[in-house]
Amino acid sequence: MSKLGFIGLGIMGAPMAAQLIKAGHEVFLNTRSKVPADLLTGKAKACGSAREVAEQADIIFLMLPDTPDVAKVLFGENGVGSGLSKGKTVVDMSSISPMETKEFAKEINALGCDYLDAPVSGGEVGAKAASLTIMVGGPEAVFERVKPLFELMGKNITLVGGNGDGQTCKVANQIIVALNIAAVGEALLFASKAGADPAKVRQALMGGFASSRILEVHGERMIKRTFNPGFRIGLHQKDLSLALSGARTLGVALPQTASAAQLMQVCSANGMQDLDHSALVRALELMAHHEVASA
């Protein structure tokens, strides 16, 4: 069994770390607040700093909210970088900037260590079910070495390319998810405003070409008004900001992505940034003065 580290034990990180612990690995844990007591089973141990995790573990996983958080944990005071020794591996499973990721990889490589970016899709449900989609960027040999650990957390695991390509793939994923949430929200709002039962409309659509995982899961959330996260609007906003800033750098237009980002901004402006991203429908509802369904 490997000595592993896991830093960042939020909605996604805690169940992901739990899968590694369940498999019998020795896992050294660190998070911004107190390590959840239910994770301190088997060979799991709480550490006082990211540096301590890096000193104890051979492979260190990160699951953090944003690019500055990863930079701080890697290279800040008592960060991972200060505790690494040659031959160790850092695996960042956060969703952050592809450009910054390439720089982080270079700095970790300069310390004689390997780096993979491996953002995930599937939300809290996928993390708890160990069914996450994992999009990996980095050297193939390092990927193959870490893959058995990825398989404890996910089902669809793909080496996309070099460092940064995993993050690029995740940004593309978040574009598709956001646009699909907006499409489902508009469709159900239209149906409801026209007087049709949105639940039955959704049921009918699930049997046709419009069927999708977003319609299945988030369409149900919109109808049942269950907007507890999940995946928070604030985090999805961050991902769409990465898409739009990347588009500016690349000289491409992403008009539908910009529209979805604005809908999420409406939600945030109305205090809904901590709701599940399916609550994007609330922005559409506010403009229509009509809710898809009653609470």
Active site residues: 170
Q: Which residues contact 205 (CB under 8 A, 6 or more apart)?
A: 187, 211, 215, 219
Burial level of 139, CB count in 10 A (0-12/13-18/19+)? middle
Q: CA-to-CA distance for 89 and 103, rounded, in angstroms?
A: 16
Cβ neighbours, 10 Å, residue 271: 8
| Integer angstrom CA distances of residue 238 from 15, 73, 176 | 22, 19, 15
3-class DSSP assignment, residue 114: strand
Tokens describing residue 81 = 């970088």
